[in-house]
Structure 1
Amino acid sequence: MELIHRNLLIGIHDSLQETFFEKNKYADKVIERLLKSHKKWGSQDRAVVSEIFYNIIRWKRRLEYYMGEGVKPGNIYKLILAYLLWSKTHYKKFEEFEGIKIADILTKLKKGTVPTKAIEYSIPDWLAETLEKELGKNWEKEMDALNEQAPTILRANTLKTTPKHLVEELKEENVQSFQIRNYPDAVQLEEKKNVFLTSAFKEGLFEVQDASSQKIGEFLDVKEGMRVVDACAGAGGKTLHLAALMKNKGQIIALDIFEWKLAELKRRAKRAGAHNIETRFIEDNKVIKRLHEKADRLLIDAPCSGLGVLKRNPDSKWKIDQDFIDRIKGEQQQILQDYSKMLKKGGKMIYATCSILPSENNKQVEVFLKNNPEFQLVKDQKIMPSEGFDGFYMALIERTQ
């Protein structure tokens, strides 16, 4: 049994409260702030805090069943206790949880069964219904995978190094890693480490990017000297990959509706030595219109439900609902319709999401192609979480006339 000290417990409590009950507070940023504010915690303590924090978020619905009530601001410690008992993790003496009846939780734990699949997989009822409707009998296999902890995957920045050399560089800094077969630039850590403190990171030798996400850059089939538009660039993970694939030759125009994301992209590009990227803030439709029929390649990494990346963002299943998914599907179709106009005749584009729902993926492409006969599907690919990495969809579409 592991021993959880009181100061760690308080940190977990406060971070969970912030994630669940403060608007626009996301788990990854909350835990990052917690760990930064406790610099004296050792690496083992930091790992334990992070693991318990994410597992409680991941299994919240199931833990609520064991608690016998829903999570409220006043009962976060009871939620933590339910997790500690379930995972057989020891916190000094359980009697220190004043006013919490341990016996009630233990009774449900000893039963070993839960009444519904939604509780078993720790998701809202509406999500269980949606997954079953869209994925059929496979939905449970995918939820099994999505409830696992995500591995840490790096993308070797081939503008500065190779995956083989990156593994060697990291080993010198006591970070053990290995290359992944069929993923040319990917390197996986053997265990979680704060790689942002390494000199390899500071020198721009890698970015943290899931293996499935790395497939998108390859799928777009960019060539040196092309003009490429990344229409929903965000902080630029895929943009930087495209720059490396193009060997800094040609032009990449990175667009986004958030200026702060583009500012982060610029910082990352400087560290990576990616010099062929120009950022443009989408402040109005004119930004898109100026690029009509100018792109050899176009990447539309569309906003989506994010259901393919619940391994690393488990809190998102508690922050979205069916109305959100219905709204986002409307946005996806509008973005496809408007942004596709930037593609030249003979050019190719990718429509991609990190969702596993067909209604956000191939169904959206089918509607777009029906309404736009000048485009045709070249190929598409879905990567499911049960294959080992994040869930993604990508469709390569050519403009023929």
Structure 2
Amino acid sequence: MRLHRNLCFAVIDGLTQIFNENQYADKVIQQLLKRDKRWGARDRGFVAETTYDIVRWKRLYAEIAEVKEPFDRDNLWRMFAVWATLKGIKLPDWKYFEGTPTRKIKGRFDELSKTRKFRESIPDWIDEVGLEELGEAKWTKEIAMQNEQADVILRVNTLKTSKEKLQNILSDENNIETEFIKGYPSALKLTERANVFVTDAFKNGLFEVQDASSQLVAEFLDVAPGMKVVDTCAGAGGKTLHIASLMQNKGQIVAMDIYESKLKKLKIRARRNGVHNVDLKVIDSTKPIKKLYNKADRVLIDAPCSGLGVLRRNPDAKWKLEPEFLDSIRGVQQDVLQQYSKMVKPGGKLVYATCSVLPSENQNQVDAFLKSEAGENFDLLKDKKILAHESGFDGFYMALLERKA
């Protein structure tokens, strides 16, 4: 591979924003990819994947390059040189790479790779939490898998098409090849990465991009056409739209969130998907919640969490997370369980879900809820713990509870 100066500069600029200005990697990369209209798919792929790669391995590369935060541009070029050397890419004769100790880089990599926190490039505290909650063997495998690049998974919108039809459309019109995934009824996996958002199939609402594990949540909720369903932490609505398709657009979905901006995105996506049974409600006080007490056949609590099950697609989250956030989010999780569970009517069902792999955010929260006054009217019907290294998809947790009639 030959390195091109303008592409490398884009990567360095992106890393400056992500590491020093604390911006979100996905947003930064979106902006970078608009920088030069002449860039082809390979150029954009290089910028996106190289930036994500260096973000993912920040701690390891900084250690090898012997640089410390905040990183100036020289530091970032040294980390870039580490990335290129470990990839076997010949460094061009540029001033940024003068005196790069290629042999030393490989030696340091071999040495540091013996220690998990360097090998998997994670903060000490995350390594300690994972080890404590999952144990040595499970955590070692899980955090290694969280550093693998995630597959692109589509969820077919069954309101508009079928899995087989969508597969043929993508193949015939866009040369995008996909395969079915056993046990995931609405999922198609891309055999090679491609920009699916520019396809007519996406613009016409035939699919959404949604990880296979995330697709299991709506299925777990056990909805049927005609029900009243509340999605309490709907966000931009990935699971809301899946629920709508499972309900065949019949009945009512109340999609709630504390952020109005996210619900506005959901409104746009719902229109594209042909979904018209969703009511949007901003949680700006306790009133919208209290109005729904004892009214819902089904309630989904896709709770805010650490996101330690989805580091593969959000590698910068490792560097943004703080131990204090984890402590506070556990309190939030229990609070939403206590409050939002009151919306379930007798005989109705509730799903509590997170994209975390930590028991303290998952089954421990459900256990604490069931032992509380608010939870004494509920029974746990089943739960599912998904680890990335076992499933090949995102780490997730979901529990199905039923309110006693």
Common fold: TM-score over 0.5: yes
Counterpart AA for 2:46: V
1:71: how far off? Answer: 3.8
Aligned residue number for residue 9 of structure 1 = 8
Aligned residue number for residue 20 of structure 1 = 19
Distance of 1:49 and 1:190 partners within structure 2: 21
Distance of 1:328 and 1:63 partners within structure 2: 30
Distance of 1:71 and 1:169 partners within structure 2: 48
Aligned residue number for residue 170 of structure 2 = 170
1:118: how far off? Answer: 0.5
Answer whether contact 2:157 2:206 (CA < 8 A) is retained.
yes
Match status 1:388 vs 2:392: yes
1:108: how far off? Answer: 4.0
Counterpart AA for 1:73: F
Counterpart AA for 2:47: V
Answer whether contact 2:352 2:399 (CA < 8 A) is retained.
yes
Aligned residue number for residue 83 of structure 2 = 83
Aligned residue number for residue 51 of structure 2 = 53
Structure 2 stretches of 5 or more lacking a match? none
1:97: how far off? Answer: 1.2
Aligned residue number for residue 214 of structure 2 = 213
1:152: how far off? Answer: 0.4
Give the match's secondary structure for 1:378: strand
Aligned residue number for residue 132 of structure 1 = 131
Structure 1 stretches of 5 or more lacking a match? none
The TM-score with structure 1 as length reference comes to 0.97
C-alpha distance after superposition, 1:124-171 (max 9, x if no partner): 001111110000021010011101000000000000011111111101
Runs of at least 4 residues of structure 1 off by over 3 A?
none
Aligned residue number for residue 265 of structure 2 = 264
Distance of 1:288 and 1:357 partners within structure 2: 28
Distance of 1:80 and 1:108 partners within structure 2: 12
* Partner of residue 107 from structure 2, selected from 100, 105, 110: 110
Alignment of 1:200-239 (within 5 A): 200-239=201-240
Answer whether contact 1:217 1:238 (CA < 8 A) is retained.
yes
Aligned residue number for residue 247 of structure 1 = 248
Distance of 1:279 and 1:77 partners within structure 2: 47
Distance of 1:359 and 1:90 partners within structure 2: 46
Give the match's secondary structure for 2:27: helix
Counterpart AA for 1:365: V
Distance of 1:357 and 1:332 partners within structure 2: 13
Aligned residue number for residue 151 of structure 2 = 151
1:65: how far off? Answer: 1.4
1:229: how far off? Answer: 0.1
Counterpart AA for 1:84: A
Give the match's secondary structure for 1:309: coil
Distance of 2:45 and 2:192 partners within structure 1: 10
Counterpart AA for 1:50: A
Counterpart AA for 1:121: E
1:3: how far off? Answer: 1.2
Answer whether contact 2:142 2:387 (CA < 8 A) is retained.
yes
Counterpart AA for 1:212: S
Answer whether contact 1:333 1:368 (CA < 8 A) is retained.
yes
C-alpha distance after superposition, 1:359-388 (max 9, x if no partner): 000000000000021111000001101120
Specify whether residues 198 and 64 from structure 1 end up closer, same or farther in structure 2 by C-alpha distance, changes over 3 A only.
same
Aligned residue number for residue 62 of structure 2 = 64
Answer whether contact 2:237 2:263 (CA < 8 A) is retained.
yes
Counterpart AA for 1:12: V
Give the match's secondary structure for 1:352: strand
The TM-score with structure 2 as length reference comes to 0.96
Distance of 1:360 and 1:168 partners within structure 2: 40
Counterpart AA for 2:215: Q
Distance of 2:367 and 2:151 partners within structure 1: 33
Answer whether contact 2:85 2:91 (CA < 8 A) is retained.
no
Report the RMSD for the aligned CA atoms in angstroms: 1.2
Which range moved further: 60-69 or 214-223?
60-69
Give the match's secondary structure for 1:298: strand
Answer whether contact 2:85 2:105 (CA < 8 A) is retained.
no
1:37: how far off? Answer: 2.6
Distance of 2:51 and 2:293 partners within structure 1: 46
Give the match's secondary structure for 1:90: coil
Answer whether contact 1:85 1:106 (CA < 8 A) is retained.
no
Distance of 2:134 and 2:312 partners within structure 1: 18
Answer whether contact 1:8 1:45 (CA < 8 A) is retained.
yes
Match status 1:40 vs 2:38: yes
C-alpha distance after superposition, 1:245-278 (max 9, x if no partner): 0000000000000001000000000000011111
Size of the alignment, in residue pairs? Answer: 396
Give the match's secondary structure for 1:148: coil
Percent identical: 51
Counterpart AA for 2:65: M
Answer whether contact 1:304 1:354 (CA < 8 A) is retained.
yes
Distance of 1:191 and 1:38 partners within structure 2: 24
Distance of 1:252 and 1:42 partners within structure 2: 41
1:50: how far off? Answer: 1.3
Which range moved further: 124-133 or 33-42?
33-42
1:70: how far off? Answer: 2.0
Distance of 1:318 and 1:262 partners within structure 2: 27
Specify whether residues 46 and 91 from structure 1 end up closer, same or farther in structure 2 by C-alpha distance, changes over 3 A only.
farther
Alignment of 1:207-356 (within 5 A): 207-356=208-357
